[in-house]
């Protein structure tokens, strides 16, 4: 068993550690991932070839591999070392000590990280990839045995979305395995690539090598977006969405619910809320994150249970989006902001409500605060005057009735008293609350495709206006 351990050995010893007896490292050269692979079958072209292209892109683009691998664990963080080299292989059969192919099958890929002139293996992981399909628990279970045998990590890739790489869609089958398992969705892979590209556009590339790297990464993103590949897009809430929404609406409060119905809605929503963050980034270049508890970040079931509780208690789903510090609104208002957007989806009314709190100048009284607030919103180009509702929040969280931004603008123009000023609540406003309520309509809400499109458009537009993305 000791000879099977990959970590700590030299790259030249890798064939032996994989039980490829009687061959040298040149044999593995044939298994190296290719940026331009050749394939014969449709299945090979769509899955095996995409694995090869992705793994090759990791080796070619240093900032990209650092962005993906550097967050996994301390050993993988060595990918940033000056002498670090990444070696990637595809379809390496698991060979048993007798020199025969194992009946456990073969993972789609293998990533090996080496450092130093001797190319000592610091970290390694087997990779299993799915294209337009979910992970197969029985198959992954076999491959985990292989990873455990060689004492390396395991990475899964599919369209299945999780909140962090430390979560996995197959959590229930991994409790007995003492190995690190990570998961990347294709959306996550594509978004990380676009973040690297965006970062390179904000600084001048140092040399031709940097320019060429970004060009390769841009081509990789285009490849993922090709309709023939069709990965990295969550566009359907599932075949049971419409019937599940209908059943939840008709369910009287306090009635015992069909577990399958709630589970279906919760699972679909978990995919959509994560996809929403990526969608917002693609449209606005703002790195939006879900505000999750520590337990939710590590375990999908924790987040799912929270969604289920919300569905049972109020027939709604709420989530909080974290917005980066730097935004035009924050700069214009010259004050700290809570950087959070609360979004609630209501199943009974087929609607959604978005709200956020914006800090304001504390050197003025309520009238002056409101005037400055309106002026600053106009200066940064906040639109949707008829749709955005403004409420002033005073001490002890007492607040005024919400009015539209347009109403406040009219009051300012005609020198009328602002609806945000209520002397009974105090002389000074603590912060402003900006909200927007949108009725989706029952037909759109129940549509597994239109629901996604409408929610993503609504939230993205709201963020773009409020934060002038």
Q: What is the pLDDT of residues 186-223, one digit of tens each?
A: 988 988 888 888 777 655 555 554 788 888 999 998 88
pLDDT at residue 197, rounded to an integer: 85
User: Looking at the structure, do residues 252 and 293 belong to the same domain, yes or no?
Assistant: yes
Summarize pLDDT for 86-122 with one digit per residue, the tens: 999 988 765 544 444 555 678 899 999 999 999 999 9
* Residue 36 pLDDT: 83
Q: For the segment 365-417, what is each residue's pLDDT rounded down to a tens digit?
A: 999 999 999 888 877 666 667 888 999 999 989 999 999 999 999 999 999 99
Give the mean model confidence (pLDDT) for residues 293-305: 83
Q: Does residue 80 carry a pLDDT above 80?
A: yes
Residue 274 covered by a domain? yes
Examine the domain organization and report whether 262 and 392 are in the same domain. Answer: yes
pLDDT, position 269: 92
Residues 168 and 299 in one domain: no
Q: Domain for residue 152, yes or no?
A: yes
Evaluate whether 459 touches 276 at the Cβ level (below 8 Å): yes
Beta strands 181-185; 153-158: pairing state: parallel
Q: 70 and 124, same structural domain?
A: yes
The pTM assigned to this predicted structure is 0.70
The pLDDT of residue 267 = 86
What average pLDDT does the structure give for the chain? 83
- Residue 236 is assigned to a structural domain of this protein: no
Domain ends where: 225, 251, 282? 225
Domain boundary among 192, 225, 258: 225
Q: Domain check: are 350 and 426 in the same one?
A: yes
Which pLDDT score is estimated for 286?
82
pLDDT at 204: 56
Is 90 contained in some domain?
yes
Least confident of 1-10, 25-34, 367-376: 25-34
Q: Is residue 150 domain-shared with residue 68, that is, in the same domain?
A: yes
State the residue range of the domain holding 386.
241-467
Number of structural domains the chain divides into: 2
Query: Using CA atoms in the order 440, 444, 450, 452, what is the torsion angle rounded to 10 degrees?
Result: 50
Could you give the percent of the chain with pLDDT greater than 70? 84
Inside any domain, residue 233: no
Query: Using one digit for the tens of pLDDT, what is the confidence trace for 253-279?
Result: 666 667 888 888 998 898 898 889 888
Looking at 174, 201, 225, the residue that finishes a domain is 225
Is residue 231 one of the residues assigned to a domain? no
Does residue 135 form part of some domain?
A: yes
Residues 278 and 191 grouped into a single domain: no
Does 232 reside within a domain?
no
């Amino acid at each position: 068993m000791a000879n099977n351990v990959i970590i700590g050995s030299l790259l030249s010893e890798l064939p032996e550690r994989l039980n490829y007896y009687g061959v040298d490292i040149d044999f593995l050269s044939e298994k190296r991932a290719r940026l331009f692979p050749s394939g014969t079958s449709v299945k090979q072209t769509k899955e095996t070839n995409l694995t090869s292209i992705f793994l090759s892109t990791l080796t070619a683009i240093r900032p990209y591999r650092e962005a993906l691998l550097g967050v996994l664990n301390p050993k993988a963080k060595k990918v940033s070392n000056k002498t670090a080299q990444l070696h990637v292989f595809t379809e390496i059969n698991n060979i048993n000590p007798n020199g025969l192919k194992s009946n456990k099958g073969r993972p789609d890929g293998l990533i090996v990280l080496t450092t130093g002139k001797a190319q000592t293996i610091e970290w390694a992981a087997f990779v299993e990839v799915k294209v337009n399909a979910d992970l197969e628990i029985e198959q992954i279970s076999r491959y985990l045995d292989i990873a455990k045998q060689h004492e390396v990590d395991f990475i899964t890739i599919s369209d299945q979305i999780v909140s962090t790489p430390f979560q996995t869609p197959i959590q229930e089958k991994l409790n007995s395995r003492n190995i690190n398992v990570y998961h990347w969705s294709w959306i996550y892979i594509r978004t990380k690539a676009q973040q690297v590209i965006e970062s390179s556009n904000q600084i001048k590339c140092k040399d031709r090598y940097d320019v060429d790297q970004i060009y390769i990464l841009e081509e990789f993103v285009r490849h993922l977006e090709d309709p023939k590949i069709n990965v990295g897009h969550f566009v359907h809430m599932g075949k049971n969405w419409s019937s599940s929404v209908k059943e939840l609406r008709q369910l009287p409060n306090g009635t015992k619910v069909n577990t399958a119905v709630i589970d279906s809605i919760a699972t679909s929503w978990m995919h959509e809320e994560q996809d929403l963050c990526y969608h917002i980034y693609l449209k606005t270049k703002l790195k939006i994150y879900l505000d999750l508890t520590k337990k939710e970040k590590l375990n999908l079931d924790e987040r799912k249970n929270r969604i289920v509780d919300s569905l049972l208690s109020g027939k709604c789903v709420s989530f909080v989006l974290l917005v980066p510090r730097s935004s035009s609104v924050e700069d214009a208002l010259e004050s700290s902001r809570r950087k959070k957007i609360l979004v609630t989806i209501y199943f009974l009314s087929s609607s959604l409500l978005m709200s956020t709190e914006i800090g304001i100048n504390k050197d003025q009284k309520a009238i002056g605060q409101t005037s400055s607030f309106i002026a600053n919103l106009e200066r940064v180009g906040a639109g949707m005057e008829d749709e955005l509702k403004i409420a002033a929040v005073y001490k002890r969280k007492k607040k005024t009735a919400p009015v539209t931004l347009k109403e406040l603008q009219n009051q300012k123009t005609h020198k009328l008293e602002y609806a945000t000023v209520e002397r009974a609540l105090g002389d000074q406003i603590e912060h402003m609350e900006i909200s927007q309520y949108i009725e989706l309509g029952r037909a759109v809400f129940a549509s597994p495709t239109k629901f996604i499109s409408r929610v993503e458009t609504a939230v993205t537009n709201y963020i773009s206006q409020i934060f002038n993305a």
